[in-house]
Structure 1
Amino acid sequence: MALEPADEPARIAELKGYGVLDTPNEAEFDAIVREAAAALGVPIALISLIDENRQWFKARVGLEPRETPRSISFCTHAIRGPDVFVVNDAKSDPRFSENPLVTGDPNIRFYAGAPLRTPSGRRIGTLCVIDSTARPQLTERDTARLALLAEKTMEALERRRQRLASSNPA
Structure 2
Amino acid sequence: MTELGLVRPDMAALVGQPYGAAVSYPVTASDIRRWAIAVHFPEPPPAQYLDPEAEAQGRLVAPLDLDVFAWGAARTEPTGREIAVDPVLEMYGAMEHHLGVAPPDLPHGLHGGASVDYTGVRIRPGDVIATATVIERYLEKTGRVGAMLITDLATTWTNQAGETVKVARMSQIRY
Q: Same fold (TM over 0.5)?
A: no
Structure with the larger RCO, 1 or 2 (CA within 8 Å, 6+ apart): 2
**Structure number, greater radius of gyration:** 2
Structure with more helix by fraction: 1
Q: Please, what TM-score do these two structures have when normalized by structure 2?
A: 0.25
